[in-house]
Every structure is written in C-alpha cells, then in structure tokens.
Structure 1
C-alpha cells in the first residue's frame, strides 16, 4: 500500500485505486471514499450519526461498472467536528461541494439519506446543472408544516434533563421495524454522538425549508421511503411532487434492512444515466 499526504489532502492508494481520501473543507478535514470506474458517478451522503459504512453493501454492487464516492459530513465518521460548531444544512452542502470539486465531478447522481437527503437537496438546488439525478432516501420532509411552538418545544426538551430519554425514544421509534442486528449497530452509533452535535443538527433540521431547492432543482428525482415517511409532509408530496417508492419491513435505515430491494430500486433509477 502506498500512502501520500500533502498539506491539502491525504490519499491512500491500494492496487492503483483510490479508496480513502480526505480534504480540508470549510471548517476542517472532510473524509470520503472514491472507488470504481466508468459510468455516471454516484455520490452518497449518509444520515445523522452515519458514516460511509452505511452504503458499503450497495457500493460493492455498483463499483464494477460505476464510480462511487461516499462522503462523511463534518462531525461524522473520520471527518473533523467543525471548529465553529456550524451544522447548518447549507454549510454541510459545502462539505459535499468541496469533495466533488476536488474530484472534478462535473455531473453525477446524488443519493442522500435522512439528514443527508436535506444536504443533497440543498446542493442540488444550488447546483442544479451538476446533479444528473437526485435520490432522497427516507429524508426529512417540511418541518415548517409543524407549528413553530411544537418545533420550539422539541428544541427546549433537548436542552433539558430529558435529553437522553427524548433522543433514545426517538431513535427507538426510527428503528422499530429494523432487524435486531441493525438496530443494535445503529443504537451504538447514535448514542455515541456528542450531545452538542445532536442538539445543533436537530435544531437545524427543524428549521430547514426544502421548498426553495425543490423548485430550483427540476431534474430527475426519486424518493425511497418507509411507510412512516409517506405522509403529507413528505418531500415527494411538496411543490409539484415527484415519484416515490415505499420499502416495507424496514426501519429508517432501509438500505441496511433491505439492501437487495434498495439496490434494485436504485439501479433501476440509475439506468437513466
């Protein structure tokens, strides 16, 4: 194995293929993996508390024919926590922009899960000509559909002594339909997330307005959701609406619970490109 490092980014090479890299983003190191060759590139963005491993099984099926880039947003995986504590969706979209610009990806399919879906949507709205297709995986809907008083109550609860009880109950809800081994894995990852990060990201998601980006990005879109995320607040029902597919017998991390079904849906969408 050959290791290269510079003041700008580090690269790990294995058998001539880049498999692990990092770049200095707006507020610190952003880590990502770049694998495979050929076809329209696919860029994956994980959920809150996630990392590149959440796409591992899907990636293995794609890289024989496609270039796959998986990015770890600030404060996740091997990426550094932002020095200024900035977790705005628009700022995390700059982490994504930093990586794709470094790699020279002029056009690609963008796949984002949950919080990563909001980040992907934000980037697509800011750079519509570069996103060939957008896949939103059980992503957050429009929080502004909730009364401001309710959103503020959630934020206040996170700052209270009920923080642990509130967050763990919410994560249990998201994982209620997950396979036992997936639930155990993800609860371990989620409960290790720093309290300050959880509060800041949750607050940003509660205030994020997806409508501007939905109007700006008019390219091909697909939502892959669980039944619990197929309601009137869902992204695929906002603005002009767009196609969606429901995956059952899965928790919020449906790509981990039902990887084959998820892969089949995604590959059908990718056939357009």
Structure 2
C-alpha cells in the first residue's frame, strides 16, 4: 500500500461528536488502537503504519482528547468511555474486533471485552490494569474519595490550560513526561497534541477535566469483568513504570487466556519506548 496518512472521520456517541482515524484496507480484519489519558490517536502512527497492510486499523480520539469533542459538563468516567467504544464498534459494523490499548484506553478496552466477550477476538493491553488519576490514592475511604473529587473539580474550573510560547517548549515538556522518547517521536506527538491560539501560543488539546476521573467504576469489582473475557489477552508491563507487574500482584490470574510481558528499559509508554520489540511481539500475538 502507498505510504499515505489516515483519513479522518466522525461519529456521534451520547450527543458528542467524536473523531477517529482510518488507515484504510477496509476488507482486512478490524484492529482498534486506543490511546491513554492526555494522549491522542496520532500517538499510534508508527504502529498503525506498520500494521495497515494486514489490518483495517482504526484509531479513535477518546472524548475530551485529540480532535474529539469535550464533554459539555466535564464528565469523564469509565462507563462513559466504554459506552463510546461500544458505539464506535457498532458504527464500524465489523466484528469481532481485535484491540490494542494503552493505560486509560486499556482500562476501557478490558471493561468492553468483559461486557461483550463475543465481539473481541484478541486484546493487547499496555499498562491498563491500574488507572491512576493525578494525586489518586486508591485506599481512600469512599466519603473522602468523593470529597476529594469535588474539590478537584472546583479547582479545575478555575484552571486555564497551560500555554506554551513555542512548539519547542511544549516538546521539552513532552520529553520530561517520558525521557525514553526520541526527539523525532516527541516532536510528532507534540505537533499532533497541540492547538494554536490566536496570540501564537499553544496548549494541549485534551480537556483538563480528565484529570479528575469520577470516583466510581463500571463495577466495584472489575475482576468480575476480567474473568468474563473469553479472548486471548496480552498484558504488557514497562519495567521502569510506576505500574505493578500483573503477575506479582495476582491481577493476571483473573484472565482465562493470558500472556504477560515485562519490557526492560521501558516505562509507561512501552509502545514508544521499545517500539521494535513491542511491534515484533504484537504481530506474533495478533
């Protein structure tokens, strides 16, 4: 296939207009690539370009991210994200689907696969078993958890998006968040993750309200959904990440058909930090 970029499309979910990128090859099996929090669909470009000859690759922008609409009331919870994914699969009308997902996207995909096991063929999840909002404390009592969330919402209502005077400044911030990134990768992610303001400054496309995820889950027991997943699951862990190895804390035990890989010299973004080895293993898994 020719080395051209993806086409941009829209679909409507829960009254929001959401964006997705289609890399072509529509007669091939469908493969969804789902990004993580504060990220965007173009973060998958290297993976998508490598897989587009064998797969119909589609990369959505989650609500409040990339070129998708922001929630009007700043609502970002896992049930809403999962409903958006269900709407996208229905909109594309191709199933079963294979999914590769990172972080927040992994948490969404795991819940979708547990709810609709018959619609998912393969599921690769990069660091998506634990979704930790900024300043999140997992052992907070429920009352304190809710009150903390309300206070976060109030604080965010008064917070303006941080503006960067130049693309280079934003790129520096991108590399601070992930020191494993090459300059070229950081520039690509930054260019597609920014919007330019009238005064020439830039700020990130994502909605700041995603920093305060609603303190309820689709289920108080996500392991029940994990146990209902019928397809093979590949859990990918970065050895330099904050996330716990899924075999050490027993989370991997909740899946029927599971493969676990921990990648050395990789942090939270394994698909960026160890691209060549990740792609090789992903192709084998798929």
Same fold (TM > 0.5): yes
Quote the offset at 1:148 in angstroms: 2.5
CA distance 1:206–1:94, change in 2 (3 Å): closer
Q: CA deviation at 1:52?
A: 1.0
Distance in 2, matches of 1:161 and 1:28, equals 25
Match of 1:148 in 2: 140
Q: Per-residue displacement from partner, 1:150-206 (whole Å, max 9, x unpaired)? A: 983975885697999xxxxxx99x9455236356876895983443221136x4579
Check the 8 A contact 2:233/2:257 in 1, yes or no.
Answer: no
Q: Which residue of 100, 103, 114 maps to 2:92?
A: 103
Contact 2:118 2:230 survives alignment (8 Å): no
Match of 1:210 in 2: 222
CA distance in 1, matches of 2:218, 2:69: 23
Match of 2:65 in 1: 76
The answer (yes or no) to whether the contact 1:18–1:35 under 8 Å persists in 2 is yes
- Find out whether 1:250 has 2:266 as its counterpart: yes
Does residue 1:25 correspond to 2:52, yes or no?
A: no
TM-score in terms of structure 2 length: 0.72
Cα distance change, pair 199–129 in 1 and its aligned pair in 2 (3 A): same
Please give the per-residue CA displacement for 1:98-151, whole angstroms capped at 9, x wherever unaligned. Answer: 122111112111111000001101111111101001111111338799423498
Q: How many residues align?
A: 248
Q: Secondary structure at the match of 1:178?
A: coil
Residue 63 (structure 1) shift: 0.7
Q: How do 1:193-204 residues align onto structure 2 when only pairs under 5 Å count?
A: 193-200=206-213, 203=215
| Matches of 1:98 and 1:206, distance apart in 2 | 16
Deviation at 1:238, TM superposition (A): 4.3
2:30–2:95 CA contact under 8 A, matched in 1: no
Q: How far is the alpha carbon of 1:28 from its aligned partner?
A: 0.7
Matched ranges for 1:260-271 at <5 A: 260-270=276-286
1:200 match: secondary structure: coil
Q: Residue 59 of structure 1: SS of its match in structure 2?
A: helix
TM-score by length of 1: 0.75
For structure 1, which segment, 25-34 or 242-251, has the greater mean C-alpha deviation from structure 2 after superposition?
A: 242-251
Secondary structure of 1:213's aligned partner = helix
Distance, in Å, in 1 between the alignment partners of 2:150 and 2:84 is 28
Give the distance between the partners of 1:154 and 1:209, measured in 2 at CA. Answer: 22
SS in 1 for 2:118: coil
Q: Where do 5+ consecutive residues of structure 1 fail to align?
A: 1-13, 165-170
Does 1:219 pair with 2:231?
yes
Question: Secondary structure of 1:148's partner?
Answer: coil
Closer, same or farther: CA 71–187 of 1 in aligned 2, 3 Å: closer
3-state SS, counterpart of residue 109 of structure 1:
strand
User: Which of 65, 83, 87 matches 1:94?
Assistant: 83
CA pair 250-106 structure 1, distance change in 2 beyond 3 A: same
Residues 84, 130 of structure 1: alpha-carbon distance in 2 compared, 3 angstrom cutoff? same
Deviation per CA, 1:47-88: give whole Å up to 9, x if none: 001111111000001111211111111111111012243312
User: Structure 1 184/147 Cα, relative in aligned 2: closer, same or farther at 3 Å?
Assistant: farther
Residues 156 and 100 of structure 1: CA distance in aligned 2, closer, same or farther (over 3 Å): closer
